Amino acid sequence: MSTLFRKIKSTLTPYLLCFLLALTSCDKKELKIGKTEIIPLPAELIEGNGHFIISEKTTISVNNEEQKTIVINFFKKFETASGWIPEISINNDQADIIFYTEKSLNPEAYELVINTGGIHVKSASGAGFFYAMETIGQLLPATLYSKEKQANTIWGIPAVTIKDEPAFKWRGYMLDVSRHFFTKEEVKDAIDFMAEVKLNRFHWHLADDNGWRIEIKKYPKLTEVGAWRVDYNAKDENTSNWWGRPRQKEGEKATYGGFYTQEDIKEIIAYAKERYIEIIPEIDMPGHSLAAIASYPEISCSEGPFYVGTGGVVRNNTYCPGKEVTFEFVENVLGEVMDLFPFDYMHIGGDECNKEAWEVDPDCQLRMKEENLANVHELQSYFVKRVEKIVNAHDKNMIGWDEILEGGLAPNATVMSWRGEKGGIAAARLGNDVIMTPSRYCYLDLKQGDDDLEPNLGYAYSFLKDTYNYKIVSDSLTAEQGKHVLGIQGNLWTESITNWSQLTYMTFPRLYAVAENGWTDQKAKNWDDFTDRLLNQLERLEEKGERYATSAYNVRIDHKGQKEGSINVSLKTEVNGLDIYYTLDGTEPSLTSTKYKSPFLLKNTSTVKATSYKKEEQTGNVSTKYFPIHKAVGAKVVYNSPKLNDEESLHRLVDLNYAKLNRGDRNWQNINGDLDVDLFFNEPISIQSLEVTSLRFTNSSVYVPEYIEIYGSEDGNTFTKLGEIKQLEKSHTQGRNKVVSLINFKETTVKVIKVKAKSVNPIPEGHRRVGGASKILIDELIIF
């Protein structure tokens, strides 16, 4: 503050002072210019000089009402930050921003010329003009998405010339609203973030075992009963219990769920159409249909009672193809659904169909005999082909997951290939259209980073780099066969998802990779360039207040225990070219911390914390791992029960190699039955605690021990119990996570210790593997 201003200030009234301060702040307008870091990458982008300033005085000219709606919708989201909408007129050649209809361009293509004097937009279609505006949105500063008015911002758009069009016509996103119900407004939000990256197919998974989400007038019980289940949803991100939720019992009230009325559906369809997105409804059949069967048991082959699934279900959830009432139900339901959706496709699922009941059901056996069907796979094909006729009768094309290939593919069906590429390749060779969505590359519900550094959501892995580098059209297809590959789709199943925050975390940034893969020519893609541009998109998500993953930029902390009792640690990131800084004392890393250059040794118990930077800007979260170097390292290990003969695994409990939340990690010691193990030390040592980490993975019969005991001996013959922990409730809880058990006891000198752990046997009633014997998977026996 200048001396003159301070003198004036002392003589002013408070009211006049406030007025002058307001004038002063208004004069301090800041020019903000966006970046050309667009996703998906345009086909051609040439940067110019200078920038165009868009303000309340800017005028826009369009050719028709459709284009006017596009512009109005775009500036509605701009209005919150700017406080104004530019003037829009039709066929005004003096405007600052002018739309030109150019019929020679391909569908969805557009051209954009921006210089200091204005903006020219060319396209042949509404979709092209819409995509041009979305590109302009990305060229504006990220504060476009601010929830607060940016009164002092001057909005600059960099000068650039863009010619652009998509590589594939199908660029999709699937949202599963059966496992978790999202409101009408949340579905609109999902459609908005699709539109921003030029995706054009919204696959809406509306019915499954765990909830029926669409009103069907002829069958009101589908929403009265099928839309609701008992609430056993995980309450935090450390618990993953989809396959371990108790089933609904008689008398329990179903309170969790919801559905969309037909009026809701119409509203969402209209919303999507304004954003040039087609909606593909999915009603899963003949499997994954427990919500429908709970509502109308007569379409099942099994005996009830039936309840909407609270979690993963694999039995008695299948329609009965031996009954005509089933096909009457299917025709009526799909008829109402197809009448609502004015698009070309109807998805009928067809995946993971449990045919167990068909093998013994008299109606199914009679149907197979009458139709000369050799097995239940051909019976499924019979069902799918009948359903296809229903769909085709409504002038729609049927889509199914790649299981519809089993027993023979319906003649006109489009296949979504999810179990790898094999199904899609086979369908393309048969001349059927294909949408590639293999789980490894396109399942957005899978983990996207290090098991121990990610929220406990999802299973298996789908890393950002794999998603980005996936080649949609296989080299094994001929050019003609490749034409049947319509494009790509990212799928978000919601078994582990219970809220919007988790939806966006799992969706972003992988949906950007899906979008670029579907829009940008394969030869133009570049991983390093993509991850540079991605930082600008993450800034936009930050402005929106949306949660997203930085997993590809986060530091992965790998380690290897050394025989001499140290740990070799290495650090890396999925993204190339980042600087890594780390600490070993538990403090937060910064640019003043140690810069990582090569692997290093830990000789004492340490907490490693690391993060990444690009051009001195932090790009990742802080990764943290605790590495105890304990007193049992190098002890002789003798397994009393069970006997282990595998030399490689004998010392896993004391080798300083710590296991991750992954059943396949070889650092887990796998015990069939109870554990009884002795550790012999070279000389007497003083100890006072035992810490054991167990894996809970109950879907595969891996349970936490019911109790753990530790005994000590000075001579190796006489043992005294030092401590124990009883954890019956923990051991009988289903799910997928790590469980730490800590036993503290009086400081004692020992030469030998014995550790015992009791396995769950038999697995209790109500559990998926009821009656069987469990396994124990334990990590290091940490002794201090």
Are 434 and 424 contacting, i.e. CB atoms less than 8 angstroms apart? yes
Question: In the annotation, is 288 catalytic?
Answer: yes
* Catalytic choice (203, 205, 288, 484): 288
Q: List the structure tokens of 749.
A: 């000198």
Beta bridge pairs of residue 602 = 567
Q: Give CA torsion, residues 495, 497, 499, 505, to 10 deg.
A: -160
The single-letter code of the amino acid at 305 is: P
The total of other beta-carbon atoms located within 10 Å of residue 277's CB is: 24
**Closest Cα partner for 553 from 571, 569, 567?**
571
Q: Which two tokens stand for residue 437?
A: 């969505």
Contacts of 699 (CB under 8 A, 6+ apart): 243, 244, 312, 734, 736, 768, 769
182, amino acid identity: F
- β-bridge pairing 397-401 and 345-349: parallel
Spatial separation of the C-alpha atoms in residues 330 and 101, rounded to whole Å: 44
The amino acid sitting at 575 is: V
The token duo for 271 is 């919303």
Q: How far apart are CA 763 and CA 266, in angstroms?
A: 48
How far is it, in rounded angstroms, from Cα 363 to Cα 115?
71
Beta strands in 620-673 (DSSP E): 623-627, 636-641, 669-672
Given 208, 388, 546, 709, the catalytic residue: 208
**What DSSP string describes 667-695?**
TSEEEES-EEEEEEEEEEEEEEEEEEEEE
Q: Are 109 and 122 in contact (CB under 8 A)?
A: no
Q: Which of 225, 191, 202, 492 is nearest to 341 (CA)?
A: 202
- For residues 757, 758, 759, 763, the Cα torsion angle rounded to the nearest 10 degrees is -150
Closest C-alpha to 337, from 410, 402, 390 = 390
DSSP category for residue 303: -
What one-letter code names the amino acid at 145? Y
The residues that bridge with 118 in the sheet, in sequence order, are 115
Strand duo 30-33 + 153-164: pairing: parallel
The Cα 404–Cα 349 span in angstroms is: 8
CA distance 373 to 770: 35
Question: What is the longest distance spanned by two Cα atoms in the chain?
Answer: 102
DSSP conformation class of 702: B
Q: From the candidates 189, 352, 674, 724, give the one annotated as an active-site residue.
A: 352
- Which residue, chain included where needed, has tokens 């800084």? 581
Q: Is 56 within 8 Å of 84 (Cβ atoms)?
A: yes
Backbone angles phi and psi of 525, in degrees to 5: -75, 145
As a whole number of angstroms, the distance between CA 465 and CA 474 comes to 18
Angle between helix 126-139 and 65-82 (nearest 10): 20
CB 403 within 8 A of CB 352: yes
**Residue 443, beta-bridge partner list:** 491
φ, ψ at 436 (rounded to 5°): -85, 125
| CB proximity list for 404: less than 8 A, separation 6 or greater | 350, 380, 381, 384, 410, 413, 415
The identity of residue 777, as a single letter, is: L
Strand duo 579-583 + 594-595: pairing: antiparallel
Helix (H) or strand (E) run with residue 283 in it: strand 278-285
Rounded to 5, what percent of the chain is helix, strand, coil? Answer: 30, 30, 40
262-to-181, 199, 203, 271 alpha-carbon distances in Å: 16, 24, 17, 14
Q: Which residues are catalytic?
A: 208, 288, 352
